[in-house]
Amino acid sequence: MTTLTRDTGRDATTTGLALALTSAVAFGLSGSLARPLLDSGWTAGSVVLIRIAIGALVVLPFGLLALRGRWGVLRRAAPTMFVYGGLAVAGAQFCYFSAVRTLEVGPALLIEYTAPAAVVGWMWLVHGQRPGRLTVAGAVVAALGLVLVLDLFAGADVDLRGAAWALGAMVGAAAYFVISADERSGIPPLTLAAGGLAVGGLMLGLLGLVGLMPMEATAEQIAYAGVEVGPWVALLLLGLVTAALAYSTGIAASRRLGSRLASFVALSEVVAAVVWAWLLLDQLPGAVQFLGGALILAGVIGVKLGERGVLVEPEEPVLV
């Protein structure tokens, strides 16, 4: 019997939660780092391409070492790596930045972060892992927390084209959690991260070359918390922290927690994004947003408790 969501023991769960939170905090930094670049004239395409390219260059040597010469594993896992790079890296990034061109950031994030619900549905329909009552309750509480953190009660205009792009980003995010947690390919986490970033970077570069993703950049100084720095500082941090570190720890976390729990812990990325925006951009969150963060935490705890009662049916090995 094979399962993608399982109880791996207290130590593995603790380590997985620490890795998942590290990944969420790292991913959450990306918006605050990118915002001054975008305001200074950089296009989203230029920022995300350099971010993914730097991440790929950093992780690639470690990914190759993790293989330990098992090149046959790499060949067999090539389709998985291609899907991961296309959906979880290039697809999610391109769709999200396309969404925020015509849709406000709050609604775009909320749509993308319906990914945990999509993961629960996928695991139920495809792998027979029926969610328990606590899992469903945790999902509802976490969703309410997201609405509060994003402060959507103030109201926002929804553009249908932007919403469609955000749904595409949601598919990419869901693919990230499902593929990251699947150990059946035998590919080490660092190798999957390296390959996915490399494939995603090549795809994004191709989009830029054919003109589907605008590519512009400037040398203008940018500021964080009142301190001016060169744009290369932000780009290095985006590549090292929000790509290399975020994807590597996220995959390792999913292997320990399973795709469902890992996807719900990743909701804390929104909370991290709010905190980073406060520290770096002086965008102070309100009391309602703090309440939302508490609800997200409560929802994650509910999902973890619900994992103990997951019903799993036997399944045939599949790629994803």
Q: What is the pLDDT of residues 46-55, one digit of tens each?
A: 988 999 999 9
pLDDT for position 8 = 45
pLDDT for position 258 = 82
Residue 8 included in any domain: no
Residue 288 included in any domain: yes
pLDDT for position 61 = 93
Residue 179 included in any domain: yes
Residue 317 included in any domain: no
Helix ranges restricted to H, the chain: 10-39, 44-67, 71-76, 78-83, 92-102, 105-112, 115-127, 133-149, 160-181, 189-209, 231-239, 246-257, 259-265, 268-281, 287-307
The span from the CA of 99 to the CA of 91, in Å, is: 12
pLDDT for position 288 = 75
| Cβ-contact 306, 132 below 8 angstroms | yes
Residue 312 included in any domain: no
Residue ranges of the chain with per-residue pLDDT less than 70: 1-10, 100, 103-107, 109, 127-128, 149-158, 284-286, 289, 293, 300, 304, 307-320
pLDDT for position 197 = 94
**Which residue range is the domain that position 135 belongs to?**
18-218+225-307
Residue 2 included in any domain: no
pLDDT for position 84 = 92
| Cβ-contact 320, 175 below 8 angstroms | yes
Residue 146 included in any domain: yes
Entry pTM = 0.77
Residue 282 included in any domain: yes
Question: What backbone torsions phi and psi does residue 152 show, to the nearest 5 degrees?
Answer: -80, -10
Nearest to 242 by CA among 269, 223, 262, 219: 269
164: left (phi over 0), alpha (psi -120 to 50) or beta: alpha
226: left (phi over 0), alpha (psi -120 to 50) or beta: left
Number of separate domains in the chain: 1
- Tokens in use for 214? 């605008």
